[in-house]
Structure 1
Amino acid sequence: MTDLSLLIQSCAAGERSALKQIMETEGGRMLGVARRMLRRQDLAEDAVQECFVLLWRKAHQFDAERGQAKAWIYTILRNRCLTLLRNAHPETALDPAEAEEASDDAILEIAYNRLERTHDLRICLESLDPHKRMAILSSYILGYSHGEIAGRMGAPLGSVKAWVRRGLLMLRECLS
């Protein structure tokens, strides 16, 4: 297992091999998260590339005492994805000030409230129980894994997986 904290510190010291090792360790997963958030391969690749550039430039700002290295990396990625979404779809995007200062729950609420009340997706989301809706929105808007959602919601991993799976089945049925 790779210690991402040490690799980020090595990046701050200018060691390019550390950045390469982070890419090899996390790159595929990061691309998957970006692809889920952006729903376009080209934008996802751009987001991951920009994330690695920012990681290299800001590695000196990482403080292991303030949080985990993986969370720091994925926060950079999530912010890049939100920026790309805002630029790609300005009519549905978050205001830049809202995105920078909003908590995850606020981002989910803002994104959900941006759907028109008569929009089929909103109507179907409203039919889900709150746990399923929150799990699905956390996955698709914030790009969180099932494990991250379970941690945020304080729920067992198996329950979160079931909520997402069953919720998506219900959405598919509702939207068809």
Structure 2
Amino acid sequence: MTPEGISELISRVSLRDRAAFDALYASTSAKLFGVCLRVLGNRTEAEDALQDIYVKIWNKADRFAVADTSPISWLVAIARNHCIDVLRARKLVAAELDQAADVVEPSPNPEQSAVAKGEAQRIYDCLDQLEAARAEAVRAAYLNGDSYEALASRYKVPLNTMRTWLRRSLMKLKECLEG
């Protein structure tokens, strides 16, 4: 549609002509949707914004000055400004400085590190008290994530035997750690 035709439709929309509004929507919605999608980067938000934009066009059509601007530029400006408003509303409010003090550091503090290191050493000492093959199987199963089937195959024992090894080894580890 020509710029003159779009100007004519906007003028008729200012008089609350629904047929003109339908024709304006049909001839310009694809372009305005592209503007919305480009600015917002989200199809759902762009679709919602497009509806709001056409409500604004319906309400502001009487403000369009035919001689001053191109009709497409006027429509794109309305779309762009609305999408920028949507982006501004979307931005998260920055946390205040006082709240930043409440944020917990994810890494352990020195005391926690020392305790964890001591507990790890106790676990390794208890693992050393197990038979070598069973200690290796426990490490493979619970530290490396190896499956029971893979361990049974590796140690050439039946699957239920491997389960029994691991269960009894864990019980011995528990006794050692509690003692």
TM-score normalized by the length of structure 2: 0.49
TM-score scaled to structure 1, two decimals?
A: 0.50
Q: Larger Rg: 1 or 2? A: 2
